[in-house]
């Protein structure tokens, strides 16, 4: 069975294509969304999902969240005494989703379509692919998140429509895509984005507002600054969500047995978030420019991503486009559903016979070159684009270069991905060299062909007409960070992960502990008693009793802290 997976910064989801429609698969706790969080328990076993997320504020040194922001880098995250690369953690989340899918459907999951932000560069995409392979999934395809949302939106009615704009503001990334549907062909016209803009940044804004009032000297944290930071972040998220429904919301934390409360007004929040809202404009402008479409030619502006629930974001979008956005898609589910549609397309499901999807590459690919300027001087490190951004993929383009000096033995090409005029300011992919016969400068040509396919694989073919020789290269990771995948997969498999039913208990316990820390006085005592009671039931190991106890614990906690959000 092929599934579609939305691997998000804050939450992940898995869906499959069944009976002509995409369907979300619930996890072992019964939720449709699984938080992208991994935590290590005292006995060196791992928790993935909701339980881990609750442990974020009680055990921040043992928990990792938002590791999607570090994908494609070599940053190591420490959980307890082990450290992990971000792709290992993503692999653990994917593994858990795979297990949930197999449990729910009863079939084996052979492959997956995984979504990535449209603006993820080559390194980040390769890291995502590796994460899938580490989890034991055959990654059939990486799909851009706004494209997936467009798929979920566009196949509802097969009628032709004018181009529409997908505005995807998730937990950690922001993507804009302009999509056109005609005759069942879903065609992406342009994509742009910002990899460092998401709900988490808005949480930081709230923390910034609050810090000035709660902790002006920066001394509150003492020796446990990182723990305080996590506690504040969790509280900031709650406050931010509350501000979506009210004009003012409280920010509550309990630290060192003392309660601190600040009230934040929606107006304060909007003002402090001004720079972030300003940053939303640039990708929109770029995608409109690149696709040559005017705002009034758009039929809809479709909002996707949890952070678009914020009224300040919605107001900004309305003012930007001069119309109200379309909110018919479920912001948290759309991407996973779209990934399932793509999985269905891959599996050649009969219901999707009339649907096709074409996507574009979001970044320009090119090489560095030397240019002669008007005054007779030369300039180095000039970026020469070969495949321009927003070209429909798969694409193949050629550009001819020639030698600069006499009797050059070889021509060296550095391959870059990016938009800067200075080549070395872009992301460096690889370096290749071809030998050339020694001739006077300018007499030897090299024709460089870039072939970029839909899954992001770049192949370079260089022909030197003077010798008639051709050289073919496949662009790999320049720094060999792929490492030994088999070895890593084995190491990952050896880790003990709490299975489904245990996870539910762990989740309930973690939530209880978090609430214990968050409340004071009588309520704290009450929670303490409930924890002890639950622990006792767990020790007795009677499955039915455990389930009942867990449910009543959850209900009691719901009463205390309100409906839990995901």
Partner 1 sequence: MSKAIWTTLGIARTHDETAIRRAYSARLKTIDVDADPAAFMALRDAFAAARAYARRSVAQTEPVLANAAASDDRPGAGDAAEPSAAPPDPTPAKPDWVEDIEAIQQIVYGSAPREATFDEVQARTAHLLDGPAMEAIDHAANVERWTAETILSGMPRTNAMLQPAIERFGWIDRTRQWNCPPAILHVVQRYADCHFIGSLADGDDVKRAFEMLRDPLQPPGARFAPQIERMLQIAATSHPTLQHDFDRDAVAAWTAFLDHRRGQWSYRLKAGAVSKVDAIRRIFSQRGRWRGWLAIVVALNLLRLVVSWHDPSPNPGVPIAVSPTAPAPQLLANKERDIDVAVRESLVGNFGIDDVERNPTLYEALGTLWKNDQSARATQAKFTSDVRDLFERRYNRALPNLSYALAVQRQKLRLEQARAFATRDPAACADLMEGAAVDRIPPAMVERMRELDSRVLLETRKLGPASDGERRIAIPAAIGRDARARSGLGESVFHDALLGKGTPEQRCRTRISVMDAALAAPEKTALSLLRTL
Give me the residue label for tokens 């379509």: 113
Residues 428-457 that bind partner 1 (CB under 8 A): 451, 453-454
Among 83, 420, 469, 525, binds partner 1 (CB under 8 A): 420
How many Å apart are CA 491 and CA 47, to the nearest integer?
17
Among 61, 295, 490, 545, binds partner 1 (CB under 8 A): 295
- State the first-to-last Cα distance of the chain, in angstroms, to the nearest integer: 28
Kindly indicate which of the ranges 83-91, 145-153, 250-258, 316-324 contains the residues binding partner 1, using the contact rule CB under 8 A. Answer: 316-324
Closer residue to partner 1 (CB): 358 or 402:
358
Among 354, 479, 486, 542, binds partner 1 (CB under 8 A): 354
Residue 203 C-alpha from the chain's centroid:
17
For CA atoms 216, 217, 223, 229, the dihedral sign is positive
68 counts as catalytic: yes
Which residue among 87, 145, 175, 290 is the active-site one? Answer: 145
479 counts as catalytic: no
Per-residue contact flags (x/-) with partner 1 for residues 361 to 400, judged by CB under 8 A = ---x-x------x-xxxxx---x-x--x---x-xxx----
Q: What tokens does 95 get?
A: 């593994």
Kindly indicate which of the ranges 320-328, 506-514, 530-538, 553-561 contains the residues binding partner 1, using the contact rule CB under 8 A. Answer: 320-328
Residue 289 makes contact with partner 1 by CB under 8 A: yes
The footprint of partner 1 on this chain (CB under 8 A) covers a number of residues equal to 48
How many Å apart are CA 554 and CA 512, to the nearest integer?
8
How many Å apart are CA 102 and CA 317, to the nearest integer?
40
- Residue 170, classed as helix, strand or coil, is coil
Helix runs in 18-64, H state only: 50-58
Compute the least distance from the CB of residue 354 to partner 1, in Å. Answer: 7
Torsion of CA 326, 327, 331, 334, to 10 degrees: -60
Q: DSSP assignment of 95-116, as one string?
A: HHHHHHHHHHHSS---EEEEEE
Closer residue to partner 1 (CB): 388 or 433:
388
How many Å apart are CA 36 and CA 97, to the nearest integer?
10
Which residue among 168, 290, 359, 430 is the active-site one? Answer: 168
CA–CA distances in Å: residue 441 to residues 363, 402, 559:
32, 8, 80
The answer to whether 322 and 298 have CB atoms below 8 angstroms apart is no
Residue 158 makes contact with partner 1 by CB under 8 A: no
168 counts as catalytic: yes
Residue 347 makes contact with partner 1 by CB under 8 A: no
Active site residues: 6, 68, 145, 168
The residue ranges that bind partner 1 (CB under 8 A) are 182-185, 281, 284-285, 288-290, 292-297, 316, 319-322, 353-354, 356, 358, 364, 366, 373, 375-379, 383, 385, 388, 392, 394-396, 419-422, 425, 451, 453-454
């Amino acid at each position: 069975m092929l599934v579609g997976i939305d691997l998000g910064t804050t939450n992940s989801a898995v869906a499959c294509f069944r009976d002509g429609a995409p369907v979300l698969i619930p996890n072992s706790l019964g939720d449709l969304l699984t938080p992208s969080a991994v935590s290590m328990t005292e006995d060196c076993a791992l928790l993935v999902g909701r339980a881990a997320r609750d442990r974020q504020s009680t055990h921040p040194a043992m928990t990792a969240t938002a590791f999607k922001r570090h994908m494609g880098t070599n940053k190591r995250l420490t959980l307890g005494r082990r450290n992990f690369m971000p792709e290992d953690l993503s692999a653990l989340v994917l593994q858990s989703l795979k297990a949930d899918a197999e449990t729910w459907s009863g079939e084996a999951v052979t492959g997956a379509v995984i979504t990535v932000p449209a603006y993820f560069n080559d390194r980040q995409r390769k890291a995502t692919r590796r994460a899938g392979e580490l989890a034991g999934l055959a990654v059939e395809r990486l799909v851009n998140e706004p494209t997936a949302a467009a798929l979920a939106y566009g196949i509802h009615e097969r009628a032709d429509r004018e181009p529409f704009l997908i505005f995807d503001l998730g937990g950690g990334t922001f993507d804009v895509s302009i999509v056109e549907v005609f005759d069942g062909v879903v065609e992406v016209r342009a994509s742009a984005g910002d990899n460092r803009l998401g709900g988490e940044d808005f949480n930081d804004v709230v923390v910034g507002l609050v810090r000035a009032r709660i902790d002006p000297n920066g001394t509150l944290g003492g020796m446990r600054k990182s723990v305080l930071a996590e506690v504040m972040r969790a509280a900031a998220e709650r406050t931010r969500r509350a501000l979506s429904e009210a004009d003012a919301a409280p920010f509550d934390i309990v630290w060192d047995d003392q309660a601190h409360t600040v009230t934040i007004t929606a107006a304060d929040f909007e003002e402090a978030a001004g720079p972030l809202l300003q940053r939303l404009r640039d990708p929109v402008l770029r995608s409109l420019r690149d696709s040559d479409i005017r705002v009034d030619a758009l039929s809809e502006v479709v909002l996707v991503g949890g952070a678009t629930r914020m009224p300040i974001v919605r107001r900004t979008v309305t003012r930007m486009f001069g119309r109200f956005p379309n909110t018919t898609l479920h912001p948290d589910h759309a991407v996973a559903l779209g990934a399932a549609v793509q999985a269905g397309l891959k599996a050649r499901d009969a219901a999707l016979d009339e649907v096709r999807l074409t996507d574009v590459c979001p970044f320009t690919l090119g090489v560095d070159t030397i240019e002669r300027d008007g005054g007779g001087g030369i300039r180095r490190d000039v970026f020469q684009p070969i495949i321009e951004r927003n070209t429909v993929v798969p694409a193949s383009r050629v550009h001819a270069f020639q030698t600069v000096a006499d009797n050059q033995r070889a021509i060296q090409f550095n391959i870059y991905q990016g938009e800067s005029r200075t080549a070395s300011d872009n992301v460096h992919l690889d370096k290749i060299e071809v030998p050339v016969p020694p001739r006077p400068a300018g007499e030897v040509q090299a024709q460089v062909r870039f072939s970029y396919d839909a899954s992001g694989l770049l192949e370079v073919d260089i022909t030197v007409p003077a010798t008639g020789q051709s050289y073919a290269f496949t662009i790999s990771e320049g720094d060999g960070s792929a490492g030994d995948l088999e070895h890593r997969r084995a190491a990952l498999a050896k880790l003990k992960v709490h299975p489904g039913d245990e996870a539910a208990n762990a989740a309930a316990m973690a939530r209880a502990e978090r609430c214990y820390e968050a409340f004071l006085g009588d309520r704290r005592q009450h929670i303490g008693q409930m924890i002890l009671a639950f622990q006792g039931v767990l020790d007795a190991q009677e499955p039915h009793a455990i389930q009942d106890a867990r449910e009543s614990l959850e209900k009691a906690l719901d009463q205390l802290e309100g409906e839990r959000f995901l």
